[in-house]
Amino acid sequence: MSAKQKSESAARVVPADGLDALIRALARAGYTTIGPRVEDGAVTYRPVGSAADLPLDMVDEQGGGTYRLRASKGAGYFAHVVGPHSWKRYLYPPRQLMWRASRARSGFAVEAPEPAADKLAFIGVRACELRAMEIQDRVFDNGQFTDPGYRARRAAALVVAVNCGRAGDTCFCVSAGGGPRVEDGYDILLTEFPGKDHTFLVQAGSARGARVVKALRGGRDAGEADLRAAQRRTDAAAKAMGRELAGDAPQVLRENLEHPHWQRVAERCLNCANCTMVCPTCFCSTVEDVTALDGSHAERWRTWDSCFTTDFSYIHGGAIRRGGAARYRQWITHKLASWHEQFGTSGCTGCGRCITWCPVGIDITEEVRALAARGGRK
Amino acid sequence: MPATAATAATALPADPMVPVPYRITRVARELSDTFTVDLVPARGKAPFRFAPGQFNMLYVYGVGEVPISISGDPADGARVRHTIRAVGTVTDALRRLKKGAMVGLRGPFGTPWPLDLTEGCDVLIIGGGVGLAPLRPAIYEVLNNRDRYGKVCLFYGARTPDDILFRGELEKWRGRFDMFVDVTVDRATGRWAGPVGVVTQLIRRGGFDAYHACALVCGPEVMMRFAVPTLNEIGVANDRIFVSMERNMKCAVGFCGHCQFGGAFVCKDGPVFRYDTISKLFNVREL
Ligand SMILES: Cc1cc2nc3c(=O)[nH]c(=O)nc-3n(C[C@H](O)[C@H](O)[C@H](O)COP(=O)(O)OP(=O)(O)OC[C@H]3O[C@@H](n4cnc5c(N)ncnc54)[C@H](O)[C@@H]3O)c2cc1C
Ligand code: SF4
Ligand code: SF4
Ligand code: FES
């Protein structure tokens, strides 16, 4: 039997408390387990010690500019979809020390921290989020340059993915090509079957995942029927998807760079940068140089940045993208069009975060449609 | 040996974001706000190799880091030369550094002027202001291999006669029989008797074979905006025009996103672009 088949054969159906056993097993194996938790009324990704920390029987109601959690009896642990956090904050932290310099005889010496790769286990990674990781993998290893810190963190992270059984109100992963079914790239994959007979189908996708799955006690080996039942869950989620990204979005954007509609979006856009902060693929950063008061040490920090700030495009004489219209155009054309030229993939997974967390509810799918309808393809 | 090959393959690559200390061995004032520095590695003597048109990221201790083109001779691996106009925080700090001071250097980065493609052609070098600095290595390279090229013309524009960069070298080049040099200023002052006006006027006067010419253009974006149509008019096609773009840069390696210009990262897909590959974007406002 090949290694691949062997790991695939590690598929089990376990009762709901198997989730807790799984989290504890990962912790025993030396992983810091990170998963969904309710914090300030939203699902965020934070350290979790047991299944009790997870948002059991909670679903989210999302819309353009709105997010609300409500209890839903019997919904299960993963009935919610994505919230304001994404795994990006662990693989590509919002603030990172790049290097330190200290004054030395007649100059300075530079010292870069070793890329620390804490063993993190991500619990509850959605298909769109796996897709986002694959997209960022290309960003931080672009064929010419590699970010060693990102690479180390990514290699160390163990992914416990989860198939979505429900579509969020702002999701459009089907048309964006991001989900809802997890196909690849996981160590362990969960499919939840909530209800009276609450169980999980647990599948291993790697050798290290298989070791954990095999050690789970209780339950039974999964069969064909279980895999088909899992497929039905994601099929249902796919069918329930309410939004759709136009398939010709890259062309529509490239051909309408000077469209008057940009000005109309700019009238609504607050330039708050929320969309870029919540987006799991946005990667822009800036640097901060800090110095000790006595000048003995200097540090360079890299922090998340957004193309919605005016400073972002500043060059001597002024910013290039002075107006809000130019900045919104940058964001959406980068996501949906330029990304293809840069990385051979779209920069959007269809997770819907930018729609939900936009204070005025600007909807990326709607804007593409408006550009296509108004200007047409010139 | 297989073992070493495996180790090499799995070893983490050096972080391209970490600067290497270099020492200033010479500072020369060029203009009231422009100066040239020569740098050598603070440790070791490994020669610095670069191609004309490439740039480095220069870091001033505790202040910040900026992209600066290399302005020296590519045949000279012993020192790295930069010509800098002080316009703000970091470039002002660079200007205050003296011989012996240290800076951090990362590079070289970016695409070069296509001097192999231009072989056999007439070469038009068109610069404005401090834009002559990134072109100078190309001029050296062409002159170092003069027989590989056809006519060589340098058209340079400065704001006033006092802003003419590399004046001594311009005179020297003008004195050569195998190079045509013409300089214009926006505003004449003092005893200036040369042309006044934009650099595009000079292009029309050059005696070269436009259909077999390649143009290398570097200067303020407005200058390039005027230079390209003029070149087109006289018969230089867009795929024979190369421009060097300037954008905000925080990383130079494609990670920070600041330098994006449509689908291109100016830091790694540029700064030198063949004009036909960006012509659609070049005239879009605020892109
Ligand atoms: C590829 C490339 C090559 C360059 N080569 C040269 C050169 O050979 N000689 C030279 O004098 N100048 C060159 N420049 C311009 C030089 O980088 C800017 O003048 C410098 O960044 C200004 O920084 P500052 O801190 O002094 O100015 P401030 O106005 O204080 O700038 C603040 C910050 O904005 C950004 N910024 C401002 N102006 C520019 C700009 N023009 N380009 C990119 N980022 C900018 C920088 O991050 C800078 O730290 C080059 C720029 C690029 C992109
Ligand atoms: S652009 Fe919006 S929908 Fe697409 S991945 Fe980013 S946040 Fe999600
Ligand atoms: S340019 Fe804007 S849209 Fe593109 S990655 Fe950066 S912040 Fe996101
Ligand atoms: S300078 Fe950072 S991506 Fe080009």
In this complex, do B257 and A283 lie within 8 Å of one another by their Cβ atoms? yes
Could you tell me the two tokens for A328? 């919104």
| Residue B76 in domain | yes
Instruction: Please state, rounded to an integer, the average pLDDT across all residues of chain A.
Output: 93
State the pLDDT confidence band at B8, using cuts at 50, 70 and 90: very low
Q: Where are the domains of chain A?
A: 3-96+116-239, 249-286+305-374
The whole-number pLDDT of residue A115 equals: 78
- Contact between A33 and A121 (Cβ < 8 Å): yes
- Contact between A302 and A98 (Cβ < 8 Å): yes
Residues B56 and B165 in one domain: no
Ligand 4 contacts CB of residue B126 (under 6 A): no
Tens of pLDDT, residue by residue over A52-91, are: 999 999 999 999 999 999 999 999 999 999 999 999 999 9
Greatest distance between any 2 Cα atoms in chain B: 71
What is the average per-residue pLDDT within A190-205? 95
The whole-number pLDDT of residue A9 equals: 61
Tens of pLDDT, residue by residue over A228-279, are: 999 999 999 999 999 999 999 999 999 999 999 999 999 999 999 999 999 9
| Residue B73 in domain | yes
Kindly identify the ligand whose nearest atom is closest to the C-alpha of A179: 2
Residues B104 and B127 in one domain: no
Residue of A nearest to B85 (CA): A316
Residue of B nearest to A139 (CA): B255
Question: Residue A277: in which H helix or E strand, if any?
Answer: helix A274-278
Residues B101 and B189 in one domain: no
| Residue B273 in domain | no
Please say if the pLDDT value at position A317 is more than 80: yes
Tens of pLDDT, residue by residue over B194-240, are: 999 999 889 887 778 888 999 999 999 999 999 999 999 999 999 99
Residues B180 and B81 in one domain: no
Residue B154: which domain range? 122-244
Residues B221 and B130 in one domain: yes
Q: Where are the beta strands (DSSP E) in chain A?
A: 11-15, 32-39, 42-47, 58-63, 66-71, 95-104, 107-111, 120-125, 158-162, 188-193, 199-204, 220-221, 285-291, 297-304, 314-315, 318-319
DSSP letter for each residue of B125-136: EEEEGGGHHHHH
Size of interface A-B (CB pairs under 8 A): 136
Residues B131 and B234 in one domain: yes
What is the average per-residue pLDDT within A151-164? 96
Instruction: Give φ, ψ of A343 to 5 degrees.
Output: -130, 5
Residues B165 and B231 in one domain: yes
Tens of pLDDT, residue by residue over B231-259, are: 999 999 999 999 999 999 999 999 999 99
Q: Give the β-pairing of A285-291 and A297-304.
A: antiparallel
Please say if the pLDDT value at position B155 is more than 70: yes
Q: At B197, which amino acid appears?
A: G
The whole-number pLDDT of residue A374 equals: 66
Residue B145's CB is within 10 A of a number of other CB atoms, namely 12
Number of helical H runs and strand E runs in chain A: 15, 16
Could you tell me the two tokens for A363? 């909807």
Could you tell me the two tokens for A144? 């010419």
Asked if the bond preceding B271 is cis, omega within 30° of 0, the reply is yes
Helix (H, G, I), strand (E, B) or coil at B113: coil
Q: How far apart are CA B188 and CA A151, in angstroms?
A: 56
| Residue B33 in domain | yes
| Residue B50 in domain | yes
Question: What CATH number should be reported for the domain holding residue B182?
Answer: 3.40.50.80
User: Which residues fall within 8 angstroms of residue A275, CB to CB, at 6 or more apart?
Assistant: A282, A308, A331, A353, A354, A357, A358, A362, A364
Measured from CB, residues less than 6 Å from any atom of ligand 3 are: A 276, 282-284, 306-307, 330-331, 334-335; B 257, 260
| Residue B186 in domain | yes
The whole-number pLDDT of residue A316 equals: 86
How far does the centroid of ligand 1 lie from the alpha carbon of residue B138, in Å? 21
Please say if the pLDDT value at position A200 is more than 50: yes
Q: What are the chain B neighbours of A140 within 8 Å (beta carbons)?
A: 255
The whole-number pLDDT of residue A44 equals: 97
The whole-number pLDDT of residue A64 equals: 95
Number of domains in chain B: 2
Ligand 4 contacts CB of residue B256 (under 6 A): yes
Tens of pLDDT, residue by residue over B103-142, are: 999 999 999 999 988 888 999 999 999 999 999 999 999 9
What is the average per-residue pLDDT within A188-208? 96
Please say if the pLDDT value at position A2 is more than 50: no
State the pLDDT confidence band at B47, using cuts at 50, 70 and 90: confident
Residues B86 and B163 in one domain: no
Rounded to two decimals, what is the model's pTM?
Answer: 0.93
| Residue B45 in domain | yes
Q: Which of A152, A284, A323 sits opposite B257 (nearest CB)?
A: A284
Residue of A nearest to B265 (CA): A342
Instruction: Please state, rounded to an integer, the average pLDDT across all residues of chain B.
Output: 92
